[in-house]
Amino acid sequence: MSSTPIVTIKRTQSTDAAWNTFAEDCGASYRSLNNWSKFWQFSNYLSLRTLRFSFYLQSPVAQVKVGQCLIGVSLKHNRAMTTDGLQILPEYYYLWQACLQALLSELGPGQYIYGNNFSIEPPRESQIAMLSGTAVQSVCSYTVAGVKFSQWDSWETYERDLCHNVRRNLRKAREKYPDAIVETRWGLSSFNLVPSVLKAKSVMYKRKNVSSSKIFTTTGLFLRPIFIKKNSFCSILRSNNETLSAFSGVEIGNLLYYIEGGSIESPGVGWMLKISLMKNFYNRFPSGVFIMGTEMRSGAFQSDTWKSFSRYRRDARVSGFPTSVVTFQYY
């Protein structure tokens, strides 16, 4: 006769490195990184108190850490929100509800906001509604667009599967700039490449007649390396000391996030840089996911018919990962 699993919760005192390594093992997004909470507070919710919890599965002989959670609590508004949901090791996914119930019991009644729009964690509103004492108030549905490399048996197969226009422009760019090189800098050293990223993005947006906030972009380019350090990077494609295109991203485990970038000239050089970075990532993580953005969604997600609204993402052969941000009350 099997017994009901017993999950306990404790405040976490682990080091940043141990926390982040566990988050990677759970397949969590970059918003699960410990120092992301500082960036999160600085840019959005200065009045929040952040708490770290770990979840343990109890057994007669030992306790095993199965998950963790970083949450921001606003005592003024009696509200709590997760930066990246619960981070549960894959072999213990079945304990997700038990872990959330333990968290709610620990923090007590109030309003909760669960999830984030850049996570590939599946929607949780149905499971939340099944928990004792909860009432779902609202759900914002999203589809994260990412290239799921496990769908191709080799890098060459993936590159051949790109749309005809991308392959043509790539070929032209490679012929025009045979000596182009990629420079990548991680963490604080990426500050040296920020001017190139800003220039490339500004030129591209002007070419496409798209407006953007230079202050917002600049703030993110400087704050990400400060707060999440080695997981944040900038890359530029150069030829004869001239910047052709630029890319700013974040990597955590087998997930690579495209945050922003641009190209000085078109066509092809932007893809030339992205393809180089994607290939490097694929060689390290053949089953990884290159996440290109997130899209709001209305209605149920249909994997067999879903298509990104962005042609640029469709050209890269992205798949859709449904997720949601759930606001609910716990009594």
- Based on the structure, what is the number of domains in the chain? 2
pTM summary value: 0.92
Distance CA 154, CA 188 (A): 33
Whether the Cβ atoms of residue 269 and residue 42 lie closer than 8 Å to each other: no
Verify that 84 and 199 share a domain, yes or no: no
Cis peptide before 267 (omega within 30 of 0): yes
pLDDT at 115: 95
Identify the domain boundary among 97, 116, 135: 116
Tell me whether strands 255-263 and 289-297 are parallel, antiparallel or unpaired.
parallel
Q: Which of 157, 183, 189 is nearest to 241 (CA)?
A: 183
Contacts of 119 (CB under 8 A, 6+ apart): 28, 29, 31, 84, 85, 144, 323
Residue whose tokens read 């990077």: 233
How many angstroms separate the CA atoms of 60 and 44, rounded?
Answer: 43
pLDDT digits (tens, 9 = 90+) for 159-206: 999 999 999 999 999 999 999 999 999 999 999 999 999 999 999 988
CA 321 – CA 323 distance, rounded (Å): 6
Please report the pLDDT score of residue 141 as a whole number.
97
Q: Does 291 map to a domain? A: yes
Q: Are residues 151 and 218 in the same domain?
A: yes
Do 165 and 312 lie in one domain? The reply is yes
Calpha distance 291→168 (Å, rounded): 23
Q: Looking at the domain assignment, is residue 150 inside a domain? A: yes
Same domain, yes or no, for 222 and 112? no
Q: Which of 98, 116, 134 is the last residue of a domain?
A: 116
Burial of 212: CB neighbours in 10 Å, binned 0-12, 13-18, 19+: middle
Q: Tell me the CATH number at 75.
A: 3.40.630
Question: CA angle, 123 as apex, 109 and 119 as ends, to 5°?
Answer: 95
Provide the Cα torsion 113, 260, 52, 84; round to 10°.
Answer: 40
- The strand pairing partners of 6, in sequence order, are 58
Same domain, 199 and 263: yes
Task: Report yes or no on 109 lying in a domain.
Answer: yes
- DSSP strands (E only) in the chain: 6-11, 49-58, 63-74, 79-82, 87-88, 110-114, 134-148, 181-186, 232-239, 242-252, 255-263, 289-297, 319-330
pLDDT score of 214: 78
Could you say which residues of the chain have pLDDT below 70?
A: 1-3, 43-46, 77
318 and 190 within one domain: yes
Per-residue pLDDT at 45? 56
Q: Is residue 100 part of a domain?
A: yes
Same domain, 297 and 201: yes
| Cβ atoms 217, 228 nearer than 8 A | no
Final residue of a structural domain among 116, 133, 162:
116
d(CA 230, CA 250): 9
Q: Are residues 158 and 91 in the same domain?
A: no
Residue 122 lies in a domain: no
* Nearest partner of 324 among 126, 158, 108, 123, judged by Cα: 123
Residue 102's domain comprises 6-116
Distance CA 120, CA 309 (A): 18
The SS3 of residue 273 is helix
Confidence (pLDDT) at 265: 80
